[in-house]
Structure 1
Amino acid sequence: MTSLSVETLAADAVEPITSAGNAQLGIAVLAGIAVIVLLITKFKLHAFLALTIGSLALGAFAGAPLADTIKSFSTGLGNTVAGVGVLIALGAILGKLLADSGGADQIVDTILAKAGKRSMPWAMVLIASVIGLPLFFEVGIVLLIPVVLMVAKRGNYSLMRIGIPALAGLSVMHGLIPPHPGPLVAIDAVGANLGVTLALGLVVAIPTVIIAGPVFSRYAARWVDIPAPEHMIPTRPSEDLEKRPGFGVTVATVLLPVVLMLVKALVDIVVDDPANGLQKVTDVIGSPLIALLAAVMVALFTLGRAAGFTKERLSSTVEKSLAPIAGVLLIVGAGGGFKQTLIDIGVGQMILDFSKDWSIPALLLAWLIAVAIRLATGSATVATISAAGLVAPLAAGMSTTETALLVLAIGAGSLFFSHVNDAGFWLVKEYFGMSVGQTVKTWSVMETIISVVGIVFVLLLSLVL
């Protein structure tokens, strides 16, 4: 595992925009985060505005000139949106095509038709993990929870026994696997290799989702034994379609970008020659932009046209998929601005100064920082983006594998103990018809298990790779 080389990092450090000492910087960070939390929770301000104001407050408390703070925030926002904005848009289009064409329903129906009572929790975690690859967490919940409720009612299953595995599958994908926004931003911030991160993310995700999903659901079902709320079981989204795309082609379309990125990672490892023709080709087709763009173009035919969509309806579907992500783009961008402000005032070096005598592994330190921000802000994405900015200096001198594990450590920390300041907490509570206490005992505990098990497997991988 990489040790912290402060001397090496100091040589590469960018001159901070303030001369504040470590104590003042520490207070500034706490104050900036407190402003964000207060604005989001107390005043119900949109996260984009809260992050913007929090970034300005951070610079002010650190004694940085206002003009420099604004420049740092704007630079971070622009770089973040430029880096992941197109990918978020392509992911949204793919997710919308998957939902509207009935492809998601086809995956669900096919697997459930082959799953028995004992294997149903495993079927649900598989469904959620596959469908969760191209979808935002909130979109995944909206898409899958009605299915969970219908399965629980139709098969007389315990709601938690079916629901927890589905939630675990979505959450693990959201926190650990690109092309989700959080992991993508973290990869960019610490300079990690996307393909390697994706491959190692899958290695960590599989045992994590098993433990937090089917295994934990046994206990969650005993703690909270409630029926599926009748009023939350809606009409299936694709019942108005005359036909739906096939199961095999739908799964192949969803997995296409993942396969292309994994191929790139494999060729990079095996060939390791930038001048090699094969590596040049895979570097292009395995880049996240081209991989997702290819999946979207394929999906227009394999999902949209297979469902009988006209050219006009395909155009309408694509257009409708982009409107809801405006808020996501702004939040992610503002999070990148907050991250850049943290970097430019010198917080990264402050953390190195504090941590060099702690004997804490870099991966564990990254996890702890992400946990703290997650608990404070309630947002896994904000926690990932902010923590990535704070620990980016730790990546200097790390190998490709270690840098990828650093991203996964941050992602695992960003999922720790979702509670009342997390929109996902209330979404799950309302869909499942639970009380706050019941939601804590099931959803919040599940998120904590994912976070802890995730960092354990990340640390284990760091010892053997």
Structure 2
Amino acid sequence: MTRLSVELLAADTPPPITSAGHAQLGIAVLIAFAVIVLLITKFKLHAFLALTVGSLALAAVAGAPLDKAITSFSTGLGTTVASVGVLIALGAIMGRLLADSGGADRIVDTILAKAGGRAMPWAMVLIASVVGLPLFFEVGIVLLIPVVLMVAKRGNYSLMRIGIPALAGLSVMHGLIPPHPGPLVAIDALHANLGVTLAFGLLVAVPTVIVAGPLFSRVAARWVDVPAPDRMVPQRASDDLERRPSFGATLATVLLPVALMLLKALVDIVVDDTTDTTQRVFDVIGTPLIALLAAVLVGFFTLGRPAGFSRERLQETVDKGLMPIAGILLIVGAGGGFKQTLIDSGVGQMILDVSKSWSIPAVLLAWLIAVAIRLATGSATVATVSAAGLVAPLAADMSTAHAALLVLAIGAGSLFFSHVNDAGFWLVKEYFGLSVGQTIKTWSVMETIISVVAGGLVMLLSLIV
């Protein structure tokens, strides 16, 4: 087993902060969701405040002590901001540096020149899939969003026509393809073969991303016809630059964190020794924080220097990059706080307890358990780890192929219908300038399509192999 899976699966789960029964917990979850949606849609309350109130409503109905509920919310908020929030900040700096130096212009102009018209959504899903292969979903978003917004704006494309394929590519890679942490954890828990899982994962991922990306984007663009939000679109670099960075240097800078994370994943697979110096080095430089930080620092030289930026200009670029994301950080952090309150209240354990009595095929059972935990907690990782732990005994007598398919069924279920308890939901909403309803009709439906199509293909393969 990899160290990541050992840490996740062996970690002691603290007791719930409430002794409420399953029925009471279920009612509490429904009421909390209703409170959040009503406060945002009807009363126009800021999402940060709505998520905070919704977390308190959940705890109150579930009978949890208020002090423990506050601690859970604060812990989740802090953990999310410390991980995702830092990545968003570094991504915002990189996006601004790309824009101000003219590097983003190079990338966007090249994409528009090489793939115009109907080919553009297919180009975006391909780019997102390649870039997103070794990346955490949040890292992929912060790297790709500036390019997505600029392509949509300058090419006069519907934002959904360009954005949905990119999001689909990132999400499919995140849920189905190792070396992403979720699939790796499930592979180790079920003792599945990595190579077989990867082969089946690619077989399932390709048609899934086509359906959920370029094809669904046509429908999404009709349902939600919105332009790229001006406040988030990087502006074209000014004409007073000495010169712009080359396309090669710009692309290398953007792909640097991708390369570092991919190298880390490969080293972890080849060298399974926690005392090995090489593995320890790559464990550091391949973490999302260090990889993105390295890209930003390298970008100062590969992007800022060719554009003639002084130290003062670089500082100004960093400041401008950070200013627009304050609200996003708070909303994403509050989403993490709400998710932690759900978990600490025992909602995930409730789903596991109820699912034990289900009498259905193993692949379908794994998918349904992951779906239920995903809906309840908002975390694809929690859904993957919990479902893998529950169905692991079923994999003991399975063939190599069926064990791999069981891993993919869990991964597919963990992506089902992202909504208000998922930090990714708020990330997409704020970056794309959507309302809650528009985010559900696009992002949430796209995630559901990925889950259902991938799950269906896995079940079909289980009948064939």
Whether TM exceeds 0.5 here: the answer is yes
One-letter amino acid of the counterpart of residue 328, structure 1: I
User: Structure 1 residues 336, 406: closer, same or farther in 2, change over 3 A?
Assistant: farther
**What is the Cα deviation at residue 410 of structure 1?**
2.9
User: Structure 1 residues 243, 218: closer, same or farther in 2, change over 3 A?
Assistant: same
Q: What are the residue-to-residue correspondences of 1:52-201 with 2, within 5 Å?
A: 52-115=52-115, 119-126=119-126, 144-145=148-149, 147-148=151-152, 150-151=154-155, 166-172=162-168, 175=171
One-letter amino acid of the counterpart of residue 413, structure 1: F
**What is the Cα deviation at residue 297 of structure 1?**
0.8
1:394 counterpart = 2:398? no
Q: Measure the CA separation in 2 of the matches of 1:43 and 1:86.
A: 31
Q: Measure the CA separation in 1 of the matches of 2:61 and 2:286.
A: 43
User: Structure 1 residues 147, 79: closer, same or farther in 2, change over 3 A?
Assistant: closer
How many pairs were matched up? Answer: 414
**What is the Cα deviation at residue 454 of structure 1?**
4.8
**What is the Cα deviation at residue 321 of structure 1?**
1.5
User: Structure 1 residues 69, 142: closer, same or farther in 2, change over 3 A?
Assistant: same
For 1:287-307, what per-residue CA distance to the aligned partner results, in whole angstroms no more than 9, with x for missing partners? Answer: 122111111111111122222
Q: Measure the CA separation in 1 of the matches of 2:219 and 2:289.
A: 41
Q: Which residue of the partner structure matches residue 237 of structure 1?
A: 236
User: Structure 1 residues 422, 75: closer, same or farther in 2, change over 3 A?
Assistant: closer
For 1:201-232, what per-residue CA distance to the aligned partner results, in whole angstroms no more than 9, with x for missing partners? Answer: 995765544333445567889x89x9x99x99
Q: Which residue of the partner structure matches residue 340 of structure 1?
A: 340
Q: TM-score, normalised by structure 1?
A: 0.71
| Identity, % of aligned positions | 57
Q: Measure the CA separation in 1 of the matches of 2:68 and 2:217.
A: 50
Q: What are the residue-to-residue correspondences of 1:338-377 with 2, within 5 Å?
A: 338-358=338-358, 359=360, 360-368=364-372, 370=374, 372=375
User: Structure 1 residues 212, 407: closer, same or farther in 2, change over 3 A?
Assistant: closer
User: Structure 1 residues 388, 59: closer, same or farther in 2, change over 3 A?
Assistant: farther
Q: What are the residue-to-residue correspondences of 1:160-309 with 2, within 5 Å?
A: 166-172=162-168, 175=171, 203=202, 207-215=207-215, 237-240=236-239, 241-309=241-309
User: Structure 1 residues 15, 368: closer, same or farther in 2, change over 3 A?
Assistant: closer
User: Structure 1 residues 13, 212: closer, same or farther in 2, change over 3 A?
Assistant: closer
SS of the residue 1:273 aligns to = coil
User: Structure 1 residues 127, 369: closer, same or farther in 2, change over 3 A?
Assistant: same
Gaps of 5+ in 1: 1-8, 153-158, 179-183, 374-382, 431-435
For 1:99-137, what per-residue CA distance to the aligned partner results, in whole angstroms no more than 9, with x for missing partners? Answer: 222222211222333346664443344466678988786
Q: TM-score, normalised by structure 2?
A: 0.71
Gaps of 5+ in 2: 1-8, 175-179, 189-193, 396-402
SS of the residue 1:413 aligns to = coil
SS of the residue 1:258 aligns to = helix
For 1:249-282, what per-residue CA distance to the aligned partner results, in whole angstroms no more than 9, with x for missing partners? Answer: 2111111111111111111111111122221221
Q: Measure the CA separation in 1 of the matches of 2:461 and 2:148.
A: 32
SS of the residue 2:243 aligns to = coil
User: Structure 1 residues 441, 84: closer, same or farther in 2, change over 3 A?
Assistant: closer
Q: Measure the CA separation in 2 of the matches of 1:254 and 1:453.
A: 31
Q: Which moved more, 1:300-309 or 1:122-131?
A: 122-131
Q: Measure the CA separation in 1 of the matches of 2:201 and 2:102.
A: 26
Q: Which residue of the partner structure matches residue 319 of structure 1?
A: 319
Q: Measure the CA separation in 1 of the matches of 2:298 and 2:11.
A: 47
**What is the Cα deviation at residue 62 of structure 1?**
0.8
Contact 1:415–1:447 under 8 Å retained in 2: no
Q: Measure the CA separation in 2 of the matches of 1:64 and 1:459.
A: 40
**What is the Cα deviation at residue 448 of structure 1?**
5.1
1:410 counterpart = 2:409? no
For 1:317-372, what per-residue CA distance to the aligned partner results, in whole angstroms no more than 9, with x for missing partners? Answer: 111222222222222222222222222222122111111122453344323554x5
Alignment RMSD, CA only?
Answer: 4.8
One-letter amino acid of the counterpart of residue 263, structure 2: V
Q: Measure the CA separation in 2 of the matches of 1:443 and 1:389.
A: 20
User: Structure 1 residues 320, 422: closer, same or farther in 2, change over 3 A?
Assistant: closer
SS of the residue 1:30 aligns to = helix
User: Structure 1 residues 135, 237: closer, same or farther in 2, change over 3 A?
Assistant: farther
Q: Measure the CA separation in 2 of the matches of 1:464 and 1:312.
A: 63
Q: Which moved more, 1:23-32 or 1:299-308?
A: 299-308
**What is the Cα deviation at residue 314 of structure 1?**
1.0
Contact 2:97–2:303 under 8 Å retained in 1: yes
Q: Measure the CA separation in 1 of the matches of 2:316 and 2:450.
A: 37
Contact 1:168–1:209 under 8 Å retained in 2: no
**What is the Cα deviation at residue 85 of structure 1?**
2.7
SS of the residue 2:414 aligns to = helix
